[in-house]
Chain A
Amino acid sequence: MTQALVEMPLEPAGVPRGRAMVERATWAARTFATYDIDSVRRIAHAAAIAGENHAREFAELAVQETGYGVVEHKVLKNVACSVGIWNTYESHDYVTPTILSGDKIVEVPRPAGVIFALTPSTNPVATVYFKIMLALLTRNTIIISPHPFAKGVCTSAAYAMRDAAVAEGAPDGVIQVVEQPSIPLINALMTDERVDVIVATGGAPMVRAAYRSGNPAFGVGPSNVPVFVEKSADLAAAAQSIVASKSFDNSILCTSESVLIVEDSILTSFTKELTKAGACLLSTEQVEVVRDLIFPAGNFDTAWVGKSAAEIAAACDLKVPKGTLILVAPIDLIVPEEPLAHEKLCPVLAMVTVSSAARGIDAARAVLRNSGRGHSAAIHSQDARVTMDYASALPVLRVAVNVGNSLGSAGIQTALAPSMTIGTGFFGRSSLGENLQPKHFINQTLIAYNSNQSVLMPDFTDLNSWSVPEGSVPAYPIASNLEGAPVIPQPSNPVEFSGTDDLREEIRRLVIDELRQIIKG
């Protein structure tokens, strides 16, 4: 057959296999939902350790496969998203019921079931690790659909965690990967009604598709992070934080700073500090060249995602000092037609100056009108009033203060929940406002007693219906007459067969007569 022979509603290649994965996951989810807390901790810990053990290997593979980012920084993220997540949540319990005796309520945690997780090419392994850890901590099964640019390393990463988890008793099928992702396949899986929740980290079209799917979804919007250096800031510390954050993994975290806003009064001294920290301040002509390079015809060229400052400078024939970590591009105005005022997933930081804190807040709002609503902003300031006004005026759900935003808003250098998925909430057309964390993957069944004081709630202490898995899950189907087969109860008093044939025949005859009449009738 050399040509398409027939027009019929064919399911695109890979879809039936994808649906089989979902079905396998539903079986696994049914079982996993009954595990006790100790088993869950053992499984999650094993997966975390496996993730950490492979952190460097997969960081290298990710850079090789995608061409994005910095190995050292990816190692750090991979560790943060495996044992880091474990350390954060090891004492949390998303399994055991909680008793609220005052309210006469008992909360019984119930996992979502099957998570369908889309992961990006920019933070491939870290996001895969992160979502798997959250799934395991909450007794969920997960199907990972990696970005096609990073499918090789993501598949290996997921399988490393899977093997460790299954070896500790996690059910077969607990972690699966769509090894050959395609748009039709992803659409089919997103709309499959056996998927309990979709977690979409990636481009806006994919996030919107997740919300259109008809299934519960957590999708998060894009970022465009303003960072305001206000006159009361510790300028040296601010400069160091910003340069380190903007250059981290060559700026491919969504929390990476995009537009720097500086008060006039401190501009000179602050730019000195920036230069000292490894930034190269571009001249007006140089800005033109860089703009044309990374925004040809006004649109961002993804070829520059995750490339280093040195590579970008070299492509522009710019002579920059050795050790330059970021390029700072002064621009006039934050307006939609200024390309550099939009998201740039590379270490180029736009900069504007403002006359006052109030104008700084206006400028930050202008940045967020371009994109990034609901995401994050940063401020460097000692002034609580200014910080409060800034946070209250911007349409973002986290403001990182006196810390690099990359790791600050991602919860790695702040007390926010460490996360690779930054909820953009109602501002950003998302159902998730917080940093994604384990609690988002469970619901609670509430046992609620009559409030009337005469009705007492019995003692639920240490009660739960969960159990420890035995052996491999599911058990291998050995024949029931072999050793190790499940025990079958024996009859207590065997019945004798005797003297019933006549009566049985009589009844049968009656039934047959009745049936005949009905059929003829």
Chain B
Amino acid sequence: MLPYPPTLIFLNQALSPCGLGVFRGDIVRLSVLPRASPTDFRPILAKWSANWYGATMPEQASVEVPYDYGVFSFASKAEVLDKAKAYWNPGKTQFWIDSGVPLVIDRREEYFIYDMSGKRLIDTHLNGGTYNLGHRNPEVVQAITTAMQHFDIGNHHFPALARTALAEALVSSAPAGLTKVIYGSGGGEAIDIAIKTARHATQKRKVVSITKAYHGHTGLAVGTGDERFSKLFLSDNPEDFPNVPFNDLEAMENVLRNRDVAAVIMETIPATFGFPLPAPGYLRKVKELCERHDALYIADEVQTGLMRTGELWAISKEGISPDIMVSGKGLSGGLYPIACVVVAEHAAGWLTQDGFGHISTFGGAELGCVAAIKTLEICSRPETRSMVHYLSDFIGQGLRRIQADYPDWLIGIRQNGLVIGLEFNDPQGAKFVMRHLYENGVWAIFSTLDPRVLQYKPGLLLKPEIAEELLDRTEVSICRAWAEVRSLRGPR
């Protein structure tokens, strides 16, 4: 018998009924993962005396090994959850426990995240595309690690090496007409910058967004979004931030008609609203309306950009050159926060008039710029584009096959490349599916502003065999979620 098990994969839901890992007396099925640290699972097995290959762990193995991460350590996952409630965010911590997703992410690599219990999950949430290129993408890690021997965040006042290099790369990859780059440290700040820029350029105050929009939580961005996030902090401001229904051109024209609108801000596919797809020609028409009524068009490409739809920027697929474009999330490679606003010359006036107009200590941190340069390069490769096309086709076909089996449950597949929303036949449908996916080794999240819809965003570089595994796990989870929902509904 080996001194300890190399690692565990929980293949059978029945073995871990609550998705929490192994419990006393459970029989676990083991499988070897090449890079697993042998100590990862020792405490768990020791603690619960799990039956391993039919043999009980010897008594001397049941030494408690703490979860040691160098600068901090924990004795157990329970300790983390308790302390997260005590010192961090009790509401959020409790929410996930209550939702059957008591996840504390430990190891992470490629498109896998591992709960502290060792449970492996295929990540199709990817923090809205932050991990487009996988967790700790080795190329990005290498770029940043090398850069750290020379660079730090940099000084935000001076022209800087990495900031300039990234700005040039962004402008040359962006839709035609965008010529200047402004940096923020995150998507929210970048949206704020975009709004400030539009207000300066037009000398108007109003910013139109769609109902159920979401563009971030910072001062101005939160105003554009659903009141779900603004009222709590007394930050709703419908006067300056009117909403119109998505895909409603008449409403859009009505709000723009008074010519008092600085900009319309649009996610190319609204993520938090469950990826409803813009009707054919809708966005182009909105752009035309903006032009007609002297408003700028701000394309929020935070989630849809960086090759996720099979082109570097989804807005190019719509045939639009926006006045302002915002990118974030995936731009950082998931390793060093950075976001940016790419602006057309006619909107970029404040950069000349008063270059100190917006100051951000961490915005455009040079280490983040290095991460972004590498990320942008990887995303722009012809190989990456080709793989995204293959993967979109493969996942799309697989999902349609699943839909053919459960047409009354999976009632809609909203797909544009690897932006995928799965619409279920229940007001809270995606929450059920999310929980079953979690139990079956996949992490995907419901849409906050439309919980019928599951956000399903496979990684750009997902390997074919993992894509197959993902579809298998998805099919099982959708089936089981449907069974649960039907049993809750009871006999009709």
Using CB atoms and an 8 Å cutoff, list the residues of chain A in contact with chain B.
Answer: 1, 5-6, 8, 10-11, 16-17, 20-21, 23-24, 26-28, 30-31, 172-173, 474-483, 486, 488-500, 503-504, 507-508, 511-512, 514-516, 518-520
Contacts and interface: CB of A to CB of B under 8 A. Distances in A.
B386 A494 contact: no
Contacts of B81: 519
Interface stretch (B184-192, B337-345, B408-416, B442-450): B408-416
Nearest to B21: A518
22 contacts: A10-B142, A11-B142, A16-B139, A17-B381, A24-B383, A24-B387, A31-B390, A172-B389, A475-B389, A476-B310, A479-B277, A480-B277, A480-B396, A480-B416, A488-B403, A489-B403, A492-B408, A503-B488, A511-B18, A516-B97, A519-B20, A519-B78
B67 to A, nearest CB: 15
B149 A500 contact: no
B404 A477 contact: no
B488 A504 contact: yes
A483 B279 CA distance: 11
Contacts of A520: 78
A17 to B, nearest CB: 7
Given A515-B20, A520-B78, A491 B383 contact: no
B414 A480 contact: yes
A435 to B, nearest CB: 33
B386 A24 contact: yes
Nearest to A19: B383
Given A476-B310, A512-B97, A481 B383 contact: no
B464 interface: yes
Contacts of A504: 488
Contacts of B98: 508, 512, 515
Interface string B299-318: 00000000001100000010
A23 B97 contact: no
A113 to B, nearest CB: 11
Contacts of B242: none
A8 B81 CA distance: 36
A16 B141 CA distance: 13
B157 interface: no
Nearest to B247: A481
Given A23-B463, A474-B393, A481-B414, A514 B145 contact: no
Contacts of B202: none
Given A17-B381, A480-B415, A514-B18, A494 B150 contact: no
Contacts of B280: 481-483
A21 B381 CA distance: 10
Contact of A493 (B100, B408, B485): B408
A512 B435 CA distance: 13
A27 B386 contact: yes
Contact of B400 (A5, A488, A492): A488
Nearest to B141: A8
B4 interface: no
A370 B145 CA distance: 51
A477 to B, nearest CB: 4
Contact of B389 (A477, A500, A515): A477
A394 B254 CA distance: 92
Nearest to A16: B139
A5 B393 contact: no
Contacts of B404: 489
Central interface residue in A5, A28, A488, A512, by most chain B CB within 10 Å:
A488
A493 B413 CA distance: 18
Contact of B407 (A483, A491, A497, A508): A491
B229 interface: no
Interface in B376-391: 378, 381, 383-384, 386-391
A26 B280 CA distance: 34
Closest 4 CB pairs between A and B? A20-B383, A5-B149, A477-B310, A27-B390
B23 interface: yes
B427 A6 contact: no
Nearest to A493: B408
Contacts of B310: 476-477
B466 to A, nearest CB: 12
Interface in B391-446: 391-394, 396-397, 400, 403-404, 407-409, 411-418, 425-427
Interface string B10-50: 00000000101001000000000000000000000000000
Contact of A477 (B150, B417, B490): B417
A491 B485 CA distance: 16
A6 B146 contact: yes
Contacts of B464: 26-27, 30
Which one of B142, B389, B396, B400 has the highest number of Cβ atoms from chain A below 10 Å of its Cβ? B389
A514 to B, nearest CB: 6
A193 to B, nearest CB: 11
A258 B392 CA distance: 55
A8 B279 contact: no
B463 to A, nearest CB: 7
Contact of B388 (A477, A479, A492, A494): A477
B488 to A, nearest CB: 5
B383 A474 contact: no
A492 B404 CA distance: 10
Of listed B97, B390, B391, B396, residue having the most chain A CB within 10 A: B390
A475 B389 CA distance: 7
Contacts of B463: 23, 26
Contacts of B77: 519
A20 B381 contact: yes
B129 interface: no
Interface string B54-80: 000000000000000000000001100
A414 B394 CA distance: 46
B146 to A, nearest CB: 5
Given A511-B18, A515-B102, A519-B102, A23 B403 contact: no
B411 A500 contact: no
B363 to A, nearest CB: 23
Contacts of A516: 97
B387 A481 contact: no
A385 B335 CA distance: 75
Nearest to A15: B139
B13 to A, nearest CB: 14
Nearest to B420: A480
A486 B18 contact: no
Given A477-B309, A479-B416, A494-B425, A519 B97 contact: yes
Interface string B260-292: 000000000000000001111000000000000
A476 B389 contact: yes
A481 B381 contact: no
B448 to A, nearest CB: 19
A481 B391 CA distance: 19
A515 B384 contact: no
Given A477-B392, A486-B400, 11 more contacts: A5-B146, A23-B461, A474-B393, A476-B389, A477-B393, A488-B403, A489-B400, A492-B408, A512-B98, A514-B18, A519-B102
A298 B414 CA distance: 71
Contacts of A499: 489-490
